[in-house]
């Protein structure tokens, strides 16, 4: 992984809308971009080049900010160990949190904030109802690389207040046809732990057209911890005991007098679904007099009758047209459509109950499954012009983004509405400028976010007093700016500074579904709220306000012939942040809207000792603060000072990731890696002056170190054989974010797992 300078809200607009995919094709570039790309070819390490679209290929030493590039090789190494979609990010991106090892990505933040996840520029999931399941949307075998924009970015607009993670699909690299067959067998040597994968990619590149097709199927067995205990079935969705199917098709054609135009269309259809062969068995944390022998959640064979399999079902169509000679610049038109559905495992919690509905469970309670459905359409025209007004080094990027996102959430088994249908539509024009002045590059940009949230009338569930809520509309307008500079002191040294703003919505569905009778704290009213004023969407406006984040960052980069490193320090602030807290009564996640400030330091480095040996490492330290209390809607008090530490649900502990690669022959190599999360103790207290109420917070998490090993050996005309061992030393540990008390939230991580892979390319 390389952490390198990147376009901080300026240059990665195109990458965020999937134009980076086009640039990897054979589309001719305008003269200024073509010359830039030729210079990039002379770089010692091609990973030092960030391709931001056919209209401009920028060397990273001209762009302020920081982005992490996860290469195809790093993805392939991680896939030797696990098919988890986010494992490669946890191993290689400094500010990315611990992987959840589940279908859910709860707690997987980027620099302590929720990031916008894209697949070829198309948003995955919905900001209206973020179900923390939008990180599992395709087979990683079709992904060519991942670009991670660290920190807020106005380049993407809504949802990018925490950064952008853009998964970029593979592209043909050779003339003619190429087939790639991949098979994998994984096991922990338990009778039900075996899993397998079969995948086939076909690529064709011929004259002025190219295409790639990928199909795969993954069957995962049951997971075990290091003590030989079955892992618990995650209450937000497990990858254990599941099947995943993927189909991806992408094709493009270049045309025009000089092949300066390109039309590209892609289609992705992915579904992962649980088999339903196991049920959760709750464990318990240590508590004197209650749980003297703590044990994590586990599973036993069985099926809850009447329940359905949990799944992620993601489909998208993405169309891109580019013209590299449009009024002296490059025109890009991008349109997409996406349909996304996520079903969760069955639960019998108090928020599922209703005395008017007959119980369907053997325990006399109602078991129900929530299901989030969302669909979105977007259109993003943009235009780039180099040498603006005839000034060498001056570049303009401008365009407008339009998106319409719809989402709702239902309790599927009883067909009840939980979160009402919501629609968000926005129009966001933007303009970005950059100017090269000798060894200095200056950049600045402006984006106007203009959106409207519409919510239908609805009635809350019995648990929330069956309160009728009158729908309505809320408007969001924000002006977002960014600017920065990078100074290339020598051929090896550069320093940068940047300021950027990002915009996002809170998890809108949570406060809407939690509306209840305001004068009934014990939720005892059986039907409606007699005597209480009518509820409206406006009544939750404080919780529904936008999240606007500003980020200040400075950094230094050094690149030698065999050694490189990058370091940066950032300070991320929000006057009205959005973090998760656990309701002490329901033990469910609720939104907490208060000021936040997150500061951190990141480091990454590589040392190529010789042709056989290479060392790599990353380090990340993040600390966050928020308030113990929010602003009172009635104006009696303001939000408190920043005295409450932000815990593991949002900010992960210090992380150290190391790897050493040994190329022991022309045909073989081995990589030993380690990932360490350090222990952390957080505490804080405060007293609210208005009513002298005392607040306190305390959190203690225990760190751990995991080792992994990947070995490859290629036999000529036969194929490549690989062995991957995850958790090499069979370490027993509790996932960090699961060490924080919550509803049925006590999961161990996977023990040692072996994976045998065979790959044949012809």
Give, in order, the Cα–Cα distances in Å from 616 to each of 79, 98, 598, 673: 18, 19, 26, 9
Overall average pLDDT of the 126-133 stretch:
84
pLDDT per position as a tens digit, 269-286:
999 999 999 988 999 988
**Dist. CA 149–CA 680, nearest whole Å:** 26
DSSP state of 27: P
Q: What DSSP string runs through 483-497? A: EEEEEE-SSSEEEEE
Which pLDDT value is given to residue 63?
64
Specify whether the CB–CB gap between 326 and 332 falls below 8 A.
Answer: no
Which pLDDT value is given to residue 526?
58
Beta 468-470 vs 535-536: how paired, if at all? parallel
Confidence category of residue 570, pLDDT binned at 50, 70, 90? very high
Give the rounded percent of residues in the chain with a pLDDT score beyond 90: 63
Which pLDDT value is given to residue 542?
66
Handedness of CA 288, 289, 294, 298 (dihedral sign): negative
Which pLDDT value is given to residue 162?
76
Overall average pLDDT of the 200-217 stretch:
96
Handedness of CA 23, 27, 31, 35 (dihedral sign): positive
For the cut 70, the answer to whether the pLDDT of residue 353 exceeds it is yes
Quote the tokens at residue 399.
């365009």
Which pLDDT value is given to residue 37?
39
User: Could you give the maximum distance between any two Cα atoms of the chain, in Å?
Assistant: 81
**Dist. CA 334–CA 589, nearest whole Å:** 36
pLDDT per position as a tens digit, 718-758:
999 999 999 999 999 999 989 988 778 899 999 999 999 99
pLDDT per position as a tens digit, 621-676:
999 999 999 888 777 888 999 999 999 988 999 999 999 999 999 999 999 999 99
For the cut 50, the answer to whether the pLDDT of residue 11 exceeds it is no
Q: Which residues pair with 627 in a beta bridge?
A: none
Quote the tokens at residue 734.
């509790």
**Dist. CA 89–CA 97, nearest whole Å:** 8
Confidence category of residue 131, pLDDT binned at 50, 70, 90? confident
Number of domains in the chain: 1
Which pLDDT value is given to residue 490?
93
Give, in order, the Cα–Cα distances in Å from 741 to each of 234, 318, 448, 594, 736: 15, 41, 40, 22, 11
Specify whether the CB–CB gap between 710 and 80 falls below 8 A.
Answer: yes
Q: Average the pLDDT over each of 386-395, 521-530, 540-549, 734-743 and give the range with the smallest value.
A: 521-530
Q: What DSSP string runs through 81-114? A: H---TTHHHHHH-TTB----SSS--TT--BTTBP
pLDDT per position as a tens digit, 145-200:
998 888 777 666 677 777 889 899 999 988 999 999 999 999 999 999 999 999 99
Q: Which three-class secondary structure state does DSSP give residue 750?
A: coil
Specify whether the CB–CB gap between 449 and 477 falls below 8 A.
Answer: yes
Specify whether the CB–CB gap between 182 and 140 falls below 8 A.
Answer: no
Overall average pLDDT of the 527-548 stretch:
75
Q: Which single residue is written with the structure tokens 């070829």?
A: 120
For the cut 80, the answer to whether the pLDDT of residue 487 exceeds it is yes
Give, in order, the Cα–Cα distances in Å from 699 to each of 107, 177, 644, 687, 740: 15, 56, 11, 19, 7
For the cut 80, the answer to whether the pLDDT of residue 335 exceeds it is yes
Q: Which domain CATH number covers 205?
A: 2.40.170.20
Q: Which single residue is written with the structure tokens 């990589």?
A: 671
Overall average pLDDT of the 547-555 stretch:
92
Q: Return the number of other C-beta atoms located less than 10 Å from residue 480's C-beta.
A: 26
Cα dihedral 457, 462, 465, 471 in deg (nearest 10): -10
Specify whether the CB–CB gap between 288 and 355 falls below 8 A.
Answer: no
**Dist. CA 21–CA 336, nearest whole Å:** 14
Which pLDDT value is given to residue 584?
59
**Structural domain harbouring 392:** 2-761
Query: Which has the closest alpha carbon to 79: 183, 169, 2?
Result: 183
What's the N-to-C CA distance of the chain in angstroms? 28
Q: What is the pLDDT of the chain when averaged over all its residues? A: 86
Q: With left for phi above 0 and alpha for psi between -120 and 50, is residue 587 left, alpha or beta?
A: left
Which pLDDT value is given to residue 508?
84
- Burial class of 207 by CB neighbour count within 10 A (0 to 12, 13 to 18, 19+): exposed
Confidence category of residue 84, pLDDT binned at 50, 70, 90? confident
For the cut 80, the answer to whether the pLDDT of residue 61 exceeds it is no
For the cut 80, the answer to whether the pLDDT of residue 109 exceeds it is yes
**Dist. CA 447–CA 548, nearest whole Å:** 13
Beta 163-169 vs 116-119: how paired, if at all? parallel
Phi, psi of 119 (to 5 degrees): -125, 110
Q: Which three-class secondary structure state does DSSP give residue 633?
A: coil
Strand positions, DSSP E, 678-752: 680-688, 693-701, 704-715, 719-726
180 CB contacts (<8 Å, ≥6 apart)?
A: 200, 201, 202, 203, 759, 760, 761
Which pLDDT value is given to residue 59?
54
Quote the tokens at residue 179.
């087939």
For the cut 70, the answer to whether the pLDDT of residue 438 exceeds it is yes
Overall average pLDDT of the 71-91 stretch:
91
pLDDT per position as a tens digit, 362-397:
889 999 999 999 999 999 999 999 899 999 999 999
Handedness of CA 385, 388, 389, 393 (dihedral sign): negative
Helix (H) or strand (E) holding 510: helix 509-513
For the cut 50, the answer to whether the pLDDT of residue 54 exceeds it is no
Q: Return the number of other C-beta atoms located less than 10 Å from residue 395's C-beta.
A: 24
Specify whether the CB–CB gap between 134 and 86 falls below 8 A.
Answer: no
For the cut 70, the answer to whether the pLDDT of residue 699 exceeds it is yes
DSSP state of 224: B
Q: b/e map of 28-41 (b: 16 or more CB within 10 Å)?
A: bbbebbeebbeebe
Whole-prediction pTM value? 0.89
pLDDT per position as a tens digit, 294-332:
999 999 999 888 888 899 999 999 999 999 999 999 999
Q: With left for phi above 0 and alpha for psi between -120 and 50, is residue 16 left, alpha or beta?
A: alpha
Which pLDDT value is given to residue 580?
63
Confidence category of residue 44, pLDDT binned at 50, 70, 90? very low
Q: Which three-class secondary structure state does DSSP give residue 737?
A: helix
Handedness of CA 316, 317, 321, 322 (dihedral sign): positive
**Dist. CA 247–CA 317, nearest whole Å:** 12
43 CB contacts (<8 Å, ≥6 apart)?
A: 49, 59
Confidence category of residue 9, pLDDT binned at 50, 70, 90? very low
Specify whether the CB–CB gap between 422 and 508 falls below 8 A.
Answer: yes
Quote the tokens at residue 370.
């929530």
Specify whether the CB–CB gap between 723 and 754 falls below 8 A.
Answer: yes
Q: Which single residue is written with the structure tokens 């067959």?
A: 181
For the cut 70, the answer to whether the pLDDT of residue 540 exceeds it is no
Q: Which single residue is written with the structure tokens 């960014």?
A: 482
């Amino acid at each position: 992984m390389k952490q390198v300078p990147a376009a901080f809200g300026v240059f990665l607009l195109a990458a965020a809308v999937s134009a980076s995919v086009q640039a990897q094709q054979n589309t001719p570039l305008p003269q200024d971009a073509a010359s830039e790309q030729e210079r990039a070819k002379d770089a010692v390490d091609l990973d030092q080049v960030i391709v931001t679209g056919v209209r401009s290929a920028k060397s990273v030493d001209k762009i302020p900010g920081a982005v992490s590039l996860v290469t195809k090789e790093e993805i392939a190494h991680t896939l030797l160990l696990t098919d988890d979609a986010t494992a490669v990010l946890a191993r290689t991106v400094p500010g990315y949190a611990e992987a959840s090892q589940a279908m859910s990505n709860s707690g997987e933040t980027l620099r302590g904030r929720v990031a916008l996840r894209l697949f070829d520029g198309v948003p995955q999931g919905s900001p209206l109802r973020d179900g923390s399941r939008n990180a599992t949307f395709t087979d990683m075998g079709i992904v060519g690389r991942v670009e991670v924009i660290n920190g807020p970015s106005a380049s993407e607009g809504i949802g990018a207040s925490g950064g952008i993670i853009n998964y970029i699909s593979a592209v043909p690299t050779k003339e003619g046809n190429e087939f790639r067959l991949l098979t994998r067998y994984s096991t922990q040597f338990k009778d039900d732990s075996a899993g397998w994968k079969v995948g086939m990619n076909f690529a064709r590149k011929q004259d002025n057209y190219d295409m790639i097709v990928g199909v795969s199927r993954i069957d995962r067995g049951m997971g075990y911890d290091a003590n030989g205990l079955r892992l618990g079935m995650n209450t937000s969705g497990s990858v254990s005991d599941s099947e995943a199917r993927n189909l991806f098709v992408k094709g493009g054609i270049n045309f025009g007098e000089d092949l300066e135009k390109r039309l590209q269309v892609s289609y992705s259809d992915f579904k992962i679904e649980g088999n339903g062969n196991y049920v959760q068995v709750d464990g318990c944390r240590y508590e004197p007099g209650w749980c003297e022998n703590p044990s994590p959640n586990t599973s036993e064979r069985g099926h809850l009758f009447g329940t359905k399999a949990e799944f992620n079902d993601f489909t998208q169509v993405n169309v891109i047209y580019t013209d590299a000679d449009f009024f002296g610049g490059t025109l890009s038109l991008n349109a997409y459509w996406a349909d996304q559905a996520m079903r969760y495992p069955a639960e019998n919690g108090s928020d599922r109950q209703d005395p008017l509905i007959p119980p369907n469970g053997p325990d006399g309670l109602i078991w129900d499954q929530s299901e989030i459905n969302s669909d979105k359409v977007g259109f993003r025209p943009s235009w780039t012009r180099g040498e603006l007004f005839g000034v060498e080094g001056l570049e303009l990027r401008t365009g407008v983004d339009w998106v319409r996102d719809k989402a709702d959430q239902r309790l599927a088994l009883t067909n009840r509405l939980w979160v009402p249908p919501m629609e968000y539509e926005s129009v966001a024009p933007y303009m970005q400028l950059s100017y090269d002045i000798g060894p200095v590059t200056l950049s600045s940009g402006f984006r106007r976010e203009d959106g409207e949230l519409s919510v239908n009338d609805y009635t809350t569930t019995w648990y929330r007093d069956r309160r009728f809520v009158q729908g309505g509309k809320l408007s969001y307008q924000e002006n977002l700016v960014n600017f920065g500079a990078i100074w290339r002191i020598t051929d090896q040294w550069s320093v940068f500074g940047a300021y950027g703003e990002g915009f996002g919505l809170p998890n809108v569905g949570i406060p809407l579904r939690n509306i209840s009778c305001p004068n009934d704290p014990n939720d005892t009213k059986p039907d409606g709220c007699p005597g209480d004023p009518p509820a409206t969407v406006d009544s939750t406006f404080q919780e529904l306000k936008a999240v606007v984040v500003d980020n200040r960052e400075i950094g230094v980069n050094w690149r030698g012939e065999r050694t490189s490193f990058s370091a940066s320090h950032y300070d991320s602030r929000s006057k009205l942040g959005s973090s998760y807290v656990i309701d002490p009564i329901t033990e469910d996640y609720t939104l907490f809207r208060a000021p936040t400030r997150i500061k951190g330091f990141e480091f990454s480095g590589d040392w190529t000792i010789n042709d056989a040996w290479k060392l790599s490492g990353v380090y990340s330290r993040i600390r966050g603060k928020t308030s113990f209390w929010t602003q009172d809607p009635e104006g009696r008090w303001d939000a408190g000072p920043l005295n409450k530490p932000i815990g593991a649900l949002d900010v992960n502990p210090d992380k150290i990731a190391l790897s050493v690669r040994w190329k022991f022959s022309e045909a073989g190599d081995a990589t030993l890696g380690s990932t360490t999360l350090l222990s952390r103790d957080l505490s804080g207290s405060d007293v609210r002056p208005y009513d002298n109420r005392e607040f306190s917070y305390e959190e203690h998490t225990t760190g751990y170190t995991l080792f992994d090993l990947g070995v490859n050996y290629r036999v000529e005309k036969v194929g490549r054989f690989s062995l991957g061992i995850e958790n090499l030393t069979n370490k027993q540990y509790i996932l960090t974010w699961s060490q924080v008390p919550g509803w049925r939230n006590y999961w161990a991580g996977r023990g040692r797992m072996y994976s045998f892979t065979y790959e044949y390319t012809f």
